[in-house]
Amino acid sequence: MVTDKDVWRVAKHVIEEHGEAAPIVATLCADDFLASGKLTAHRVWKSVVKAVGELQRAIPHDGERVN
Q: Chain-wide mean pLDDT for the chain?
A: 95
What's the pTM value of the predicted model, to 2 decimals? 0.88
Number of domains in the chain: 1
Query: What SS3 string covers 3-65?
Result: CHHHHHHHHHHHHHHHHHHHHHHHHHHHHHHHHCCCHHHHHHHHHHHHHHHHHHCCCCCCCCC
CB neighbour class for 66 (10 Å; exposed up to 12, middle 13-18, buried from 19):
exposed
Residue 36 is part of which domain span?
A: 4-56
Residue-level pLDDT at 60: 80
Asked whether residue 35 is assigned to any structural domain, the reply reads: yes
Judge whether 67 lies within some domain. no
Q: What is the pLDDT, as a whole number, of residue 22?
A: 98
Is 36 within the bounds of a domain? yes
Establish if 66 belongs to a structural domain.
no
62 lies in some domain: no
pLDDT in tens, 29-61: 999 999 999 999 999 999 999 999 999 998 887
Residue 61 resides in a domain: no
Q: Residue 18: which of 47, 56, 54, 50 has the closest Cα?
A: 56
Whether the per-residue pLDDT at 67 is higher than 70: the answer is no
